[in-house]
């Protein structure tokens, strides 16, 4: 319909009937049809923010996604214009809305109860800010991955909190796979850490502490955790430094679980990775460290399991550095 009165009629009617979702749907589609994309985006944003049980969170997310698309379609959008600021706000909203959807899905996967049903209804009824999502839903329902997403989204860097959240995530994974065979549990852990690693590995504030938490949380095969984190972009050098620090700290954790040589076994595997790849830093940079490892092994009981194999492996790496 091409008429100068259509827009005025729709806007006037929408003013009188602000809760009329179908009417607002018609209005943004009218703007879209007439290529007034910024106006369409603003109506879509209005729909997404509408507090109502008749709209699902998925529908709200669809509205925001379209709003972002239309806002980007405006040739006049710039970082200093009103449209540019509006686009930035929309992009922030969609990031938080995606976290809200993750929380909703997490609660939907829990055992059904009146408490979970109430939370599901509330999460569908409106868009919320990160503080409300964390305090009212992610924390009470112990959704550790969602809590980490919120902390990351908010740019809140608290070393203790972040490491605690990663420890929770890994512990929850271990608990959820109890009763399964070892290979199944390892694959499940690998899949989860790879997925999360790809999300956070580019941000040093939220990933190195996670690496350390993971290293201390489960007694997998020596190269299991390092291999996962290397796949998501953590360098062998970073991993070597982390494990070398663990060695220097003389933590009694591994001895208490019957694996006193675990850290040294991982260090040997990492050193072997260097020698297997000529593009990496030469192993001569680690000669001092290897000597310390060999001295440490000499102080241990000769009957310690795998001590001879580990000593021979480190000695071999040491000889590769000699001219």
| CA distance linking residue 241 with residue 204, whole number of Å | 15
Contact residues for 145 (Cβ-Cβ < 8 A; gap 6+):
102, 106, 169, 196
Residue that wins the pLDDT comparison between 147 and 267: 147
Global pTM value: 0.80
Per-domain residue ranges of the chain: 1-156, 157-229, 235-323
Structure confidence at residue 80 as a pLDDT band (50, 70, 90) = very low
| CA distance linking residue 281 with residue 278, whole number of Å | 8
**Amino acid 287: pLDDT:** 82
Buried/exposed code over 91-114 (b: 16+ C-beta within 10 A; e: otherwise): eebbebbebbbbbbebbeeeeeee
Task: Enter the tokens of residue 144.
Answer: 């550790």
Among the listed residues 156, 133, 155, 154, the one whose alpha carbon sits nearest the alpha carbon of residue 143: 133
Average pLDDT value for residue range 166-193: 88
**Amino acid 250: pLDDT:** 84
**Amino acid 211: pLDDT:** 61
| CA distance linking residue 1 with residue 11, whole number of Å | 15
Burial of 43 (0-12, 13-18, 19+ CB in 10 A): buried
Among the listed residues 70, 59, 68, 144, the one whose alpha carbon sits nearest the alpha carbon of residue 101: 59
**Amino acid 212: pLDDT:** 60
Residue that wins the pLDDT comparison between 73 and 107: 107
| CA distance linking residue 46 with residue 51, whole number of Å | 10
Structure confidence at residue 288 as a pLDDT band (50, 70, 90) = confident
What's phi and psi for 211, nearest 5 deg? -60, -50
Average pLDDT value for residue range 309-315: 92
Residue with tokens 């200093």: 80
DSSP assigned state of 134: I
Average pLDDT value for residue range 263-285: 72
């Amino acid at each position: 319909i091409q008429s100068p009165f259509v827009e005025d009629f729709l806007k006037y009617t929408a003013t009188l009937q602000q809760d009329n979702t179908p009417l607002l749907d018609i209005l943004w589609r009218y703007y879209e049809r007439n290529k007034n994309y910024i106006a369409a985006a603003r109506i879509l944003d209005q729909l997404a923010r509408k507090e109502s049980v008749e709209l699902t969170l998925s529908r709200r997310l669809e509205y925001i996604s379209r709003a972002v698309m239309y806002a980007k379609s405006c040739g006049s959008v710039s970082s200093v214009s009103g449209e540019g600021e509006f686009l930035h706000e929309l992009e922030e909203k969609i990031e938080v809305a995606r976290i809200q959807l993750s929380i909703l899905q997490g609660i939907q996967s829990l055992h059904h109860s009146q408490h979970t049903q109430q939370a599901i209804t509330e999460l569908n009824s409106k868009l919320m800010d990160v503080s409300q999502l964390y305090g009212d839903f992610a924390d009470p329902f112990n959704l550790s991955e969602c809590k980490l997403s919120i902390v990351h989204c908010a740019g809140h860097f608290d070393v203790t909190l972040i490491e605690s959240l990663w420890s929770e995530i890994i512990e929850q994974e271990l608990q959820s796979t109890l009763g399964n065979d070892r290979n199944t549990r390892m694959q499940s852990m690998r899949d989860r850490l790879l997925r999360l690693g790809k999300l956070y590995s580019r941000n040093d504030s939220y990933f190195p502490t996670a690496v350390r938490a993971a290293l201390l949380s489960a007694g997998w095969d020596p190269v299991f955790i390092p291999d996962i984190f290397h796949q998501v972009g953590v360098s062998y050098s970073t991993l070597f430094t982390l494990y070398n620090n663990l060695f220097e700290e003389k933590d009694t954790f591994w001895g208490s679980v019957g694996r006193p040589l675990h850290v040294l076994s991982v260090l040997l595997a990492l050193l072997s990775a260097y020698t297997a790849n000529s593009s990496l830093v030469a192993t001569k940079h680690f000669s001092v460290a290897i000597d310390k490892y060999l001295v440490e092994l000499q102080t241990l009981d000769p009957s310690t399991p795998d001590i001879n194999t580990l000593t021979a492996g480190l000695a071999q790496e040491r000889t590769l550095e000699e001219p």
